[in-house]
Amino acid sequence: MISETTSPSYLQLYRSGELTRRVEEARAALADCTLCGRGCHADRQGEEPRGSFCGIGRHAWVSSAFPHHGEEPCLRGWNGSGTIFFSSCNLRCLFCQNYDISWSRTGSPVEAQDLAHLMLRLQELGCHNINFVTPSHVVPQILEALPLAIEGGLRLPLVYNTGGYDSLESLALLDGVIDIYMPDMKFTDPEVSQRLAHAPDYWDVCRAAVREMHRQVGDLVLDDHGLAVRGLLVRHLVMPNGLAGTREVMRFLAREVSPNTFVNIMAQYR
C-alpha cells in the first residue's frame, strides 16, 4: 500500500510539456487510424468517417457519466468510480450486457472542453477516479481533453476500462497518462473471437496489449484505504463450455505478465 497523497502520473507529463506533444501526435493519428486492434486505416478527422469499424469521427460520443457503485471495490470505494461511458465500441461482442450503448452512437458528441467538464464534475461529486469505459477508439479525444481538465484542477487517477483490443501505438500515447489499466481478456480461440466479436486476432492483440499495460504501470497498488491508485487489474468473464479459454488466460497472466496480477473472475454471462 502507498500513501493517499501520491499524485497521478499524468501531472508530470503535463508539467514537462510532453502531454501537449502527445495530444498533437494523437490528433494526427486520426487521419490514418490504427488506434485499436481493427487497424481500419480510416480517416476519422471528420464527423462521418468512412471505412471505420467504430463509426466515430473527430469527436467522441458519450452515452453517460456518473458515479458507478457497481465496479470493483478498489475502484468504487464509498463514493463511486467516476465512469464515462463512450458509445460505439470497437468490439461489439454478441453477448455484451451494454449492447444498447456499445453497438451504436448513443448519447451525444462532446468537444474537448465538454469531456474535461465531465471529469471535473465527477471529481466534484467525490468519485475516487475517472473511469473511461470502452475508450480504445477515442484515445485522441481523451488526451485532448485532459490538459483542460488538469488546468481545471483534476487530480484523480485515470482508469482505462477496455475490452482489451488495443494497439501498441495507442498504448504508447497513454504511457505515463493512465494510472490504472483494466482490460478484459475475453477469448483465446481465434474461431470463438471471430464468431462472437468478428476479431480472429483478438488473443494475439490482447496479449501484446496486456504485456505493455503491465510494463507501464506494474502490479495493482492500493492506498491506505484499499483504493486502487496504480497498476493492472484484469477482468475475465467465464463463459459456457470453456469458450473463454479461462485456463489459458490464467496461465498467460501467471507466466508471462505477473503471478501477482489482480484478476476479477466474472460470472454474469447471459
Does residue 89 sit within a domain? yes
Does residue 231 sit within a domain? yes
Q: What is the pLDDT of residues 93-109, one digit of tens each?
A: 888 877 777 667 889 99
- Looking at residue 106, its pLDDT comes to 87
Does residue 3 sit within a domain? no
Kindly report the pTM of this predicted structure: 0.96
Does residue 1 sit within a domain? no
- Looking at residue 4, its pLDDT comes to 46
Q: In terms of residue numbers, what domain contains 53?
A: 10-266
CA-based max dimension of the chain? 51
Does residue 4 sit within a domain? no
Residue 219 confidence (pLDDT) above 80: yes
Q: What is the mean pLDDT of residues 211-229?
A: 98
Does residue 2 sit within a domain? no
Of 13-17, 48-52, 141-145, least confident by mean pLDDT is 48-52
Does residue 22 sit within a domain? yes
Give me 219's grid cell.
Answer: 502490479
Closest CA to 154 of 177, 137, 171, 138: 177
Does residue 46 sit within a domain? yes
Closest CA to 141 of 168, 118, 125, 121: 118
CATH of the domain at 27: 3.20.20.70
Contacts 24+ apart (CB under 8 A), 100-103: 101/63, 101/64, 101/134, 102/134
Rounded to 5°, angle at Cα 141 from 11 and 106: 130
Q: What is the mean pLDDT of residues 240-252?
A: 96
- Looking at residue 104, its pLDDT comes to 72
Q: What is the pLDDT of residues 102-140, one digit of tens each?
A: 667 889 999 999 999 999 999 999 999 999 999 999 999
**Number of separate domains in the chain:** 1
DSSP notation for the chain: -B-TTPPPTHHHHHHHTHHHHHHHHHHHHGGGB-SBTT---B--SSSS-SS-SS---SSEEEEEEEEESSS-HHHHTTT-EEEEEESS-SS--TT-TTHHHHTTT-SEEE-HHHHHHHHHHHHHTT-SSEEEES-GGGHHHHHHHHHHHHHTT--SPEEEEE-S-B-HHHHHHHTTT-SEEEEB---S-HHHHHHHHS-TTHHHHHHHHHHHHHHHH-B-EEBTTS-EEEEEEEEEE--GGGTT-HHHHHHHIIIII-TT-EEEEE----
